[in-house]
């Protein structure tokens, strides 16, 4: 058996089979928990897997009745049950789904609707004003505006479509339910992060997605008793494919109320699986460390971790008992955290492992639907992104003397190409291999280590290459640092290794109540000098920019590096 394949899994033909399989195996299980707020009153509504299937079929039937067969349907909303229903109702027999970034400004929404040639859009009430304006300007091809919420505006209402679809099905309309699905054709158009002029439209098929679900099921074990908190945006493949993977196992999904409410939501829904980006786990870790220091228990925790790790060698696991107070601060039920989108700090990984919470990293891109490699409890090497999924090949292209080169991959999850960008597609897919743009190396056992983005490498005049992510990891370990970005600041005909540092204002004011800006910068410089002392001279940070203002980021919390650099250099 291939070492990546720990578990047996079913290969799905398409996403409809995913929905039907889940309804058959886990019909009465809660698929989604929906919170309804009315003033101070809070109520919870549960949607079973059986009900999810029924709602998808009803909406899909209505969409075909509207004339949307083989048409393109855009979706824009925060994470919610109706988003999932709309996605499957489009892709499982109606047409092509176009998920849009929920944080886009009005002009960009309109631009992407034009670029994608969408015929309809399904949206939540927070976009009503934008939709009214887009409709009145009539620059797009949109013929049907469908609102997920009740509204007095002249839009089609989601609820009415569900009711109509149920009636159509009861009267024998099988147009959606029996629709043929070509698993190899484009069914999804996804836009990568960036402005409308720079974002690329990735074409994905059912096969791309379900092959990735299969690979994940061979690698990671989740259970019908698990509860996941949907924090990552569903318009992003990391969020949506993650959701579909959980659905294939009967997991319950709850929706996060926002970054400020994560701790509350973890406890409220008894969350056992948390899928997030490194920034959030690192932030959690810093808060835990801060509380431990306040209680004067730093040494106690260290000793406890050593004892627990020693006993683990004999098959005795008492971590969750020893660190119950820490587990309780994370809701009391978390057993698994899945991190993606960027590398996570080794110290944070080890800390959560010490507490008895498994943290696994995944690696991939929108173009690979998205996961290429992942870890699990058996195959884990601190600092690596794990090993390729069972149905994926990965290798290092044109490695240098240190074994570092571009990570390339081949598999059924690799996109069909960029929409209407044939030349751009040829640049990244060569001889069947997708070129990720990430640099890394593989060790002798096949574990891959990412060293940075090819386009982010700082090349000095003397020919030395600096991978900014390496230095960023070290700076991020400073307890008062929320975000950091290392880059080359232009000076004459060379680059100066520089770091923009966003400090945690609350922490600084608490620990250093009367510190001036100059004193704070001086303290940060001392810490930077300490970091420099452990680096080769050419990697030394020689310029810092200190602020408490968050950097420009994508919806998956990745810093928009080039926008930030342009802002710094033009200030």
Does residue 196 have a pLDDT over 50?
A: no
CATH of 457-569 among 3.50.50.60, 3.90.78.10, 3.30.300.30, 3.40.50.300? 3.30.300.30
pLDDT at 3 over 60: no
**277-454 carries CATH number 3.40.50.12780:** yes
Give the integer Cα–Cα distance in Å for 439 and 429. 16
More confident residue, 226 or 40: 226
User: Which residue ranges make up each domain of the chain?
Assistant: 15-268, 277-454, 457-569
Class of the domain covering 15-268: alpha beta
Where b means 16+ CB within 10 Å and e means fewer, 484-502 reads bbbbbbeeeeebbbbbbbb
Instruction: For residues 558 and 551, give the distance between their C-alpha atoms in angstroms, rounded to a whole number.
Output: 9
| Residue 554 clears pLDDT 70, i.e. is over it | yes
507-534 pLDDT, tens digit per residue, is 999 889 989 999 999 999 999 999 999 8
- CB 121, CB 145: distance < 8 Å: yes
Closest alpha carbon to 350 in 339, 342, 358, 341: 358
Least confident of 62-71, 344-353, 453-462: 453-462
Model pLDDT, residue 1: 34
Rg (Cα) of the chain, in Å, rounded?
Answer: 24
Q: How confident is the model at residue 490 (pLDDT cuts 50, 70, 90)?
A: confident
Mean pLDDT, to the nearest integer, of 106-129?
95
Domains 15-268 and 277-454 share a fold: yes
Is pLDDT larger for residue 291 or for residue 12?
Answer: 12
22-50 per-position pLDDT tens digit = 999 999 999 999 999 888 899 999 999 99
* 3-state class (DSSP) for residue 306: helix
pTM for the model stands at: 0.84
Q: Are 460 and 489 in contact (CB under 8 A)?
A: no
Q: Where are the extended beta strands (E) located within 403-551?
A: 405-410, 417-418, 429-430, 433-442, 448-453, 458-459, 465-466, 481-491, 494-503, 543-547
CA dihedral 385, 424, 109, 341 (to 10 degrees): 10
Please state the rounded mean pLDDT for residues 138-163.
Answer: 95
- For 324-336, what is the mean pLDDT? 94
Q: What is residue 452's three-state secondary structure?
A: strand
The rounded distance, in Å, linking the Cα atoms of 127 and 131 is: 6
């Amino acid at each position: 058996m291939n070492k990546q394949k720990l578990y047996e899994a079913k290969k799905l033909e398409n996403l409809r089979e995913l929905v039907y399989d889940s309804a058959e195996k886990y019909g009465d299980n809660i698929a989604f928990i929906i919170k309804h707020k009315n003033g101070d009153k809070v109520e919870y509504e549960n949607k079973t897997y059986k009900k999810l299937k029924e709602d998808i079929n009803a909406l899909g039937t209505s969409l075909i009745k509207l004339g949307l067969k083989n048409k393109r349907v855009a979706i824009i909303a925060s994470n919610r049950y109706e988003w999932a229903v709309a996605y499957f109702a489009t892709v499982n027999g109606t047409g092509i789904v176009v998920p849009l970034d929920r944080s886009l400004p009005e002009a960009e929404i309109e631009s992407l609707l034009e670029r994608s040639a969408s015929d309809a859009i399904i949206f939540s009430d927070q976009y009503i004003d934008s939709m009214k304006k887009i409709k009145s300007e009539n620059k797009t091809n949109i013929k049907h505006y469908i609102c997920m919420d009740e509204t007095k505006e002249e839009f089609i209402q989601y609820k009415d479509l569900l009711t109509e679809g149920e009636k159509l099905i009861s009267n024998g309309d099988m147009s959606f339910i029996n629709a043929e699905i070509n698993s190899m054709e484009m069914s999804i158009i996804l836009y990568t992060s960036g402005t409308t002029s720079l974002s690329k439209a990735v074409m994905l098929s059912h096969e791309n997605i379900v092959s990735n679900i299969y690979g994940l099921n061979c690698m990671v074990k989740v259970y019908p008793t698990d509860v996941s908190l949907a924090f990552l945006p569903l318009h992003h493949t990391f969020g949506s494919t993650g959701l579909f993977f959980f659905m294939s196992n009967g997991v319950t999904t709850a929706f996060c109320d926002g970054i400020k409410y994560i701790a509350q939501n973890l406890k409220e829904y008894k969350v056992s699986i948390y899928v997030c980006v490194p920034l959030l786990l690192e932030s959690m870790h810093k808060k835990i460390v801060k509380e431990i220091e306040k209680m004067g228990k730093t040494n106690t925790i260290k000793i406890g971790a050593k004892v627990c790790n020693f006993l683990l060698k004999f098959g005795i696991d008492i971590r969750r008992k020893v660190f119950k107070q820490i587990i309780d601060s994370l809701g009391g039920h978390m057993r698994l955290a899945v991190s993606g989108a960027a590398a996570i700090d080794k110290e944070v990984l080890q800390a959560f492992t010490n507490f008895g919470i498994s943290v696994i990293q995944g690696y991939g891109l929108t173009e690979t639907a998205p996961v290429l490699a992942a870890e699990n409890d058996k195959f884990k090497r601190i600092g690596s992104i794990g090993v390729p999924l069972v149905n994926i090949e990965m290798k290092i292209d044109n490695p240098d003397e240190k074994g570092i080169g571009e990570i390339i991959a081949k598999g059924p999850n690799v996109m069909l190409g960029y929409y209407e960008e044939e030349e751009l597609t040829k640049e990244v897919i060569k001889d069947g291999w997708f070129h990720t743009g990430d640099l890394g190396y593989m060790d002798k056992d096949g574990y891959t280590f990412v060293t940075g983005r090819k386009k982010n490498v700082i090349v000095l005049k003397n020919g030395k290459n600096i991978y900014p992510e390496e230095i960023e990891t070290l700076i991020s370990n400073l307890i008062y640092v929320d975000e950091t970005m290392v880059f080359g600041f232009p000076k004459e005909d060379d680059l100066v290794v520089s770091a923009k540092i966003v400090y945690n204002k609350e922490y600084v004011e608490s620990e250093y109540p009367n510190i001036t800006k100059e004193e704070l910068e001086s303290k940060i410089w001392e810490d930077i000098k300490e970091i420099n002392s452990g680096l080769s001279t050419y990697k030394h940070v020689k310029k810092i920019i200190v602020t408490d203002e968050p950097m420009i980021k994508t919806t998956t919390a990745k810093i928009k590096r080039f926008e930030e650099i342009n802002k710094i250099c033009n200030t």
